[in-house]
Structure 1
Amino acid sequence: MSSVDEPMNLTITECESVLSCASSERSPVASPENRNSYFKGLARMVRNFKARALLLEDDQESLFTALMNLRDECTTPSPSIAGLGEEAVTVIDDLTHSLMDVNLKVTTKRSDHEEEALHQVNRLIDHLVSKVHEGPNTKELCHVYIRSCYKSGQCTEETSADDDEHSFQSIIINCSPDDKHRIRKRLHGLLNYIDSRLTDIYCPTLDVRNK
């Protein structure tokens, strides 16, 4: 889970109260020094709020994915959910609709440069998704992209860092901080999906024998 700054000991009500009397000589923000400190505190509160909203947005997406995957399993023969049938599908649909009642959307302001970088990154990831069924090579490329997300943006001297890594890295460093967070989340989710596909291909479900 992403970390956020320590919360301020200043409530929203207190913020409104101070702002309403900011022009008064008795206001705690009357002096330039106090005013600067006060607005820095407000800025920190806003950053914390946005960070928490991003985490909630991630949680909602993860719940949607879990519900969709479970629903898919319910509609195919699967020993892990045998006997649940239509009743389970109904429950999952109800939970999905309930989750959709919560409308979470964190809007990210981007420069033209950041918009173009995000477009290029999404195009590369979409191409990676289209190659999911090609096996281990796709998993390795996903690992390459994930490694690129955690580097400072300068080329390394590692021999394992190939053209794909440098190319992806040179693009993602131009993305906004919020988009970098979402891209990392998307790539980790894609890697988990690739792992599950490879397990299905190379390690098919075995019959339960020790009963």
Structure 2
Amino acid sequence: MDVDPLPGTSSGISTALVLQTLPKIDENDMMKTHVEKLRKGASQLEEDRDALLSTLDSVRNADLMYELEESEYMLEENDKDDVNRYADRIMSRCLTVEVKVLTQRDHMQEEALFQVNHLIDSLVIALKSDAETAKAKCVTYMNACSSSTVQGITDKKFESALLGCTVDDQKKVKRRLQGLLNYFDKLKVTSIQ
């Protein structure tokens, strides 16, 4: 089969020869890089939104309002209502933003994530009855998420389930546990005062 010559080339040069001399661009790698940047950006937006919602929830928390009432600024009741209304408005607005990054998982990874979430949910429930024990357990879970331990031991059952999760899920679990540890620290601060 003959190949038609490219416009502007002599009839002796084939299209295949011209295409061989052009630099090769691997579009698959470029697209993959672009998709990963998009996923990373969307994940960051997800984190930012969650952090903002957490901050707003903290502002609405009665313990924080109590601290404001006791502070030198002496927050009055109508000021407290204004702060709550403002926080509610911002929270409602923030809830209109939905960012979702789907993580592809096989059946085994789904099961591992279910186990991890179940263990963390049990920890949150235990928080209500015994915060100190729940925090100690949370630290053992956090130790399973990193190569260096925060303090004490690692929960092997949690670690085993976590290792069955995708890398993205492992990162999210670590952030969730860090948020819980921060919450425990806030509880300790407010309970001391």
Q: Determine the structure 2 residue equivalent to 1:5.
A: none
1:97 aligns with 2:92: yes
Give the distance between the partners of 1:161 and 1:196, measured in 2 at CA. 23
3-state DSSP of counterpart to 1:139:
helix
Match for 1:85 among 80, 85, 105?
80
CA displacement, residues 11-37 of structure 1 (integer Å, 9 cap, x when unaligned): xxxxxxxxxxxxxx69xx9899824x3
Give me the identity figure in percent.
27
* Partner deviation per Cα, 1:3-58 (whole Å, 9 max, x = no partner): xxxxxxxxxxxxxxxxxxxxxx69xx9899824x3311220111111011111101
The AA in structure 2 aligned to 1:147 is N
Q: 1:127 to 1:183 in 2, by over 3 A?
A: same
1:190 matches 2:188: no
Larger radius of gyration: 2
1:167 aligns with 2:132: no
More displaced, 143-152 or 106-115?
143-152
Equivalent positions of 1:134-153 (< 5 A) are 134-151=130-147
Partner of 2:9 in structure 1? Answer: none
Does the residue aligned with 1:131 lie in a helix, a strand or coil? helix
TM-score (norm 1): 0.70
Number of residue equivalences: 168
8 Å CA contact 2:59, 2:65 repeated in 1:
no
Q: Which whole-Å CA distance do the structure 2 matches of 1:56 and 1:181 have between them?
A: 15
* CA distance in structure 2 between the partners assigned to 1:90 and 1:123 by the alignment: 34
Q: How does 1:1-211 map to 2 (within 5 A)?
A: 34-35=24-25, 37-73=26-62, 77-78=66-67, 79-80=70-71, 82-83=75-76, 84-133=79-128, 134-151=130-147, 160-161=152-153, 165-201=155-191, 203=192, 205=193
| CA deviation string 1:153-204 (max 9, x = no partner) | xxxxxxx545xx2111111011112211211111000011111222333x2x
Bigger fraction of residues in helix:
2
Specify the code of the residue in structure 2 equivalent to 1:193.
Y
CA-based RMSD of the aligned residues comes to 2.9
Residue 34 of structure 1: SS of its match in structure 2? coil
Normalised to the residue count of structure 2, the TM-score between the two structures is 0.76
SS at match of 1:168: helix
CA shift in 2, pair 1:195/1:30, >3 Å? farther
Asked whether the equivalents of residues 75 and 85 of structure 1 are also in contact (C-alpha less than 8 Å), the reply is no
Q: 2 CA distance for matches of 1:122 and 1:32? A: 52
Q: Residues 180 and 66 (structure 1 numbering): CA distance in 2 closer, same or farther, change over 3 Å?
A: same
Letter in 1 for 2:124: V
57-66 or 134-143: which moved more?
134-143
Q: Deviations over 1:114-140 (max 9, x none)?
A: 110010000100111112241433222
